[in-house]
Every structure is written in C-alpha cells, then in structure tokens.
Structure 1
Amino acid sequence: MPERGHQNGLLELHLAVLLFGGTALFSKLIPLNAADITLFRCVVAAMALAILVKVSTQTLSLTKPKDYKVALVLGTLVCAHWVTYFAAMQLSTVAIGMIAFYTYPVMTVLIEPLLNKQRIQAIDVMSAIAVLIGVILLIPEANLNNDITLGIIVGICSAALFTARNLIHKKHFSQYGGAKAMFYQTVVAVFILLPWQQTDLSALSQNTWLMLVILGVFFTAAPHALFASALRKLSAKTVSLVSCLQPCYGAILALLLLNEGLSSSTMIGGLIIVATAMFETMQHQQKKKA
C-alpha cells in the first residue's frame, strides 16, 4: 500500500507540474493584457478553490486575525508575480519567460540564509554565477528596446516576487492547506486588479471565456490541489526535484502547441539554469537532513 501511495503521489506531482508549465501558454492563447488575464484567472480560480475547500469539509476562515494580514501581503505578491509572469512571456516566448522565472530557486537559497542569520555557502554563490551565465546566454542583445531582453528582465522580477511570496508563506502561512492558502491569495489579487481592468466583458468571445475558465480551473485550482496532495505522499526532495521540470514541460508544450522553437543559446542557457536549480534543490534537502 505505501508503494501504491508513492506511485499515486508521483503521478499527481508530475500532472501538477505539467499543468503549472502549461499555464504559460495562456499568455499567448488569450488575447488580453497580462493584468486582465491574471484578474480573470483569479476570479475563476477563487471560486474553484472555495468549492475545493468546502468539498474537503474545511472551513474557509483563518485561525488567527493576524493571518488575514499575512494573506493580504501574500496575495499582493502573488498578484504582482502572475502579472509579470504573463508579461514576460508576452514580451518574449514561453520558453524564455519560464527559464528566466526559474532563477527563483537560486534566489531562494541566497536570500533564505540571510533571513535566518546564516552564512551564505560558497557553493550557493557559484550556483548564482552559473545562473547568471545562463541568463546572459538567453539575452539576444543588451538593449532594453529589444522585447526579448525586456521579457527576461520582467521574468527575473517575477522570480524575485515569487521568492518573496514563498519565504513569507513558509514562515507565516504554512499551517494552511494549498487550496485554502491560494483561495485567499487569489481573492486579494482580484481586489487589487479590479480598478485596473481594461477589458470590456461584453466584447470577449466565447473562446476567450472558455480559455479563461480552463486557465482558472484546470491550470490554477487543479494543480494546486494535486500539488498539495502529492506533498502528503512524497518527500520534500522528490517534490522539489520534479518541480524543476516545469520549464521543460512548458517549453515542450509551447513547441508542440504554439510552434515556438528554441535557439541553441536558449537551450544551453536554459539547461544551465534548470540544472543549477536541480542541484541547489538537492543541496538544500541534504542540508536539512544534516
């Protein structure tokens, strides 16, 4: 039975990471700006997540009053992260945007020790240098007028926001399940983005509405639920390592569905960044065991 549970957990995890990787495609498939995509995504996801929480017989309320303030901070960070995430891919390509975003694992291992008043290890600094080399290989030219270069910068900003969100979540909000935690964050994002909405709802086609529903339900609520379920069945190391496949899944889906090719420099830079992320993940888990 434990082996069966492990296999089910791996299947759930890979499906969740595949869906997370597929999220990036909607930056190209939905004809809206990044802020409006994020707004409608959060509206649909919040409703789906609320249903998931209720179905699992949990209450939507938080345990402590101060947790609502934490949820507000997390929701603000998630909102900014998702807007910049989609913007990065609209400026460049799905593969380049995702690879730039995946600098966040190395950002985490550099920032977390500082927050915990620990020394940064030399190996982590070397990893940061490797990631920097990978990013440089992605850049076609050092010119902010170049959309791909701008997309990489925005993608790295998205990674920084995601890193901040993860560190705060781990320290102050980890007592809540994935569905409940994301429900509050998506609701906060909705209220932040509503005043900036530019899209006329009546002008949206049926296909756009369908894409927004698919994004919110199957590529936001569902993978978060699957990911939370996998965490209960698998080791943190396994979860972290498989998660590093997200940019690979995203690039493959973009190649198959959007016909987005990869240049040799993008492939090499991406390989360096993803390999470094996997290395740092293994290092991090070994440090926790030590």
Structure 2
Amino acid sequence: MPIRLILIAVLAVLSMSLVPVLIKSTSANVVSIGIFRLAIALIIISPLVFYKKLLSTLSRQQLLGLLYIGFCFGLHWLSYFYSIKTAGAALAAIAVSTYGAHLILLNALFKGYRVSLPECLAITVCIGGCVLVSPKVNWQEASSIGLISGLISAILYAAMPLLHQRVSELPTLTRTWGQFAFALLVFLLFFSEFEMPKTTLDWQQLLALAIICTLLAHGLWVKASTELPALFTAMIYYLYVPLAMLSSYYFLQEEVGFQMILGAALIILANMSLALLQWRRQKS
C-alpha cells in the first residue's frame, strides 16, 4: 500500500481539523462562513466543470440526486457551524464524530441492514461517550443546544454516503460541484444575515476555510478514500477529533478536561470498532 496515499489522507484530515478553530475564532456568522466557503469553491471548480460539459448530460433523476446531496450537505454545514459557535470547537468536533454510529443506524433503517450484537454494543459505547461529554442539560444555555446541533449534523453527514451511492455513476467532480452548488442555495435562503468580512484577519480565516479546508481537504480526501481500503480511511479520519481538541485547547484556550477526553476516546473507539466490524463482515 503506497505510503503516499496514507500521507495524503493524514494531510486531508489535518486540514479538516482546522475548521472548528477557524470558525470559532472568526467574527463572521454561520451564514457568512457558509456562503463564502461555497462561493469560493464553486468559482474555482466551475470553469473545469463547464469546460468538460459535465452537466449537459445529466438526467432529471441525476439532477434530483445532486439536489438531495447538496440540500443535506448544506444543512450539515449549517448545524455544524452553529454547534461550533455555541458549544465550542472541541465539543462540536466530538459530536460530529458520532457519524459512524449514525451511518449504521441509517443503513438499518433505509437499506434493511441487520445490526449485529457487537455493533449494538459499539453503538451503546458511543452513546455513553456522548453522555460523558455532554454538559448539564439546560435549554437556556447555548452549549446544550450546540451539542444537539452537532449530533444532528452527524446524522446529516452520515446520510451523505447513502445519497452519493444513488448517483455513483457520475464523476466525482460532478458530484462535488452539485454538492457545493445546491448547498449554497440552502445558505442563500438566509442571505439577509450575510455580512462581508470586517477585518483583515476575518478575510484570512475565511480564505483559509475556503481554500485549505474545503478545496484542498475535500480534494485530497476524495482521492485517499477512493484508493485506500475503507478501514484505513475510517481509522485515519478519527485523527480529526484529537487534532481538533488540541487546536481548540492551544489556540482558543477551551477547557478540555479528563471527562471530555474520556468521552471522546469512547466515541472514537466505538466508531473505529464499527469500521472494523464492517470490514470483517465484507471480507466474510
């Protein structure tokens, strides 16, 4: 297995792990961040998409498939950005990392997947980790709502592979363009809240989010996840959580206590176990 692909995957996750810190530290609001990131990404990739005439042969069914992908992705970003702003970068990253358990449950709900006893135990451990990292529930405190928003974001993120599978015959670039373009429409519904960056630092942070954390990270991850075995990409992806927690601790001075570390470890262990169980089931 080429070491180069593993390094590409690690670099992609490292780039992704900057997202919570950059979003939390910028003064731009959730809508402005989303519109800026998606618009810059589309400006860069659209010329190639139109040059290759990738959209001219789309059927109505495929176009609807891209619409569903973009709508889901837009809601995923909205809820994730809100979670970061309200619950904090570390807690939001932990909440979204539960997507592996949600993916199993969505497969069971919509594709008739039979969940095994070991998978049920892993999901239970994941829930236990969520309980450990959860703040005391108080609906008047933003952190509680932010954590729930992060869990909703994880469910939406888990739905993405299922939606992509419905139009898997389309090139990756076409699906990426559709994901970004229709997600932008979701954010444009809230355009009245859009604000231009106020400071040079805001411009720098938003450009980093658009170029490094969107185009670079997503592009590298698509390549790595396509060519590496699924088990390896699943394992590498969960580097995201400790990297995001370390970044939030050093750059944002967020409190990362033992209970949060233990809860995050349980969530990561549970989801990595689910990935391993999936791999073993496919091999058998």
1:45 aligns with 2:41: yes
Change in Cα spacing, 1:173 to 1:250, as seen in structure 2 (3 Å) is farther
Q: Using the TM superposition, give the Cα deviation of residue 154 of structure 1 relative to its aligned residue in structure 2, in angstroms.
A: 0.7
Q: Using the TM superposition, give the Cα deviation of residue 53 of structure 1 relative to its aligned residue in structure 2, in angstroms.
A: 5.3
| Correspondence 1:78-157 to 2 at 5 A | 78-157=73-152
| Correspondence 1:202-241 to 2 at 5 A | 204-241=198-235
| Correspondence 1:19-30 to 2 at 5 A | 19-30=15-26
Task: Return 153-162 or 239-248, whichever deviates more.
Answer: 239-248
Q: Using the TM superposition, give the Cα deviation of residue 177 of structure 1 relative to its aligned residue in structure 2, in angstroms.
A: 4.3
Q: 1:164 maps to what in 2?
A: 159
Distance 1:210 1:240 in 2: 31
3-state DSSP of counterpart to 2:17: helix
1:19–1:218 contact (8 Å) kept in structure 2:
yes
Change in Cα spacing, 1:138 to 1:74, as seen in structure 2 (3 Å) is same
Q: Which residue identity does 1:136 align to in structure 2?
A: V
| Correspondence 1:159-198 to 2 at 5 A | 159-170=154-165, 172-197=166-191, 198=193
| Correspondence 1:247-286 to 2 at 5 A | 247-286=241-280
Task: Return 232-241 or 218-227, whichever deviates more.
Answer: 232-241
Change in Cα spacing, 1:222 to 1:176, as seen in structure 2 (3 Å) is farther
RMSD over equivalenced CA pairs, Å: 2.0
Aligned-pair identity in percent equals 22
Q: Which residue identity does 2:206 align to in structure 1?
A: L
Q: Give ranges in structure 2 of 5+ residues lacking alignment.
A: none
Q: Which residue identity does 1:186 align to in structure 2?
A: F
2:88–2:254 contact (8 Å) kept in structure 1:
yes
Alignment: residue pair count: 282
2:31–2:194 contact (8 Å) kept in structure 1:
no
Q: Using the TM superposition, give the Cα deviation of residue 208 of structure 1 relative to its aligned residue in structure 2, in angstroms.
A: 1.8
3-state DSSP of counterpart to 1:24: helix
When normalised by structure 2's length, the TM-score is 0.92
1:289 aligns with 2:283: yes
Task: Return 115-124 or 71-80, whichever deviates more.
Answer: 115-124
Change in Cα spacing, 1:51 to 1:275, as seen in structure 2 (3 Å) is farther
Q: Using the TM superposition, give the Cα deviation of residue 269 of structure 1 relative to its aligned residue in structure 2, in angstroms.
A: 0.6
3-state DSSP of counterpart to 1:281: helix
Change in Cα spacing, 1:35 to 1:199, as seen in structure 2 (3 Å) is closer
1:242 aligns with 2:236: yes
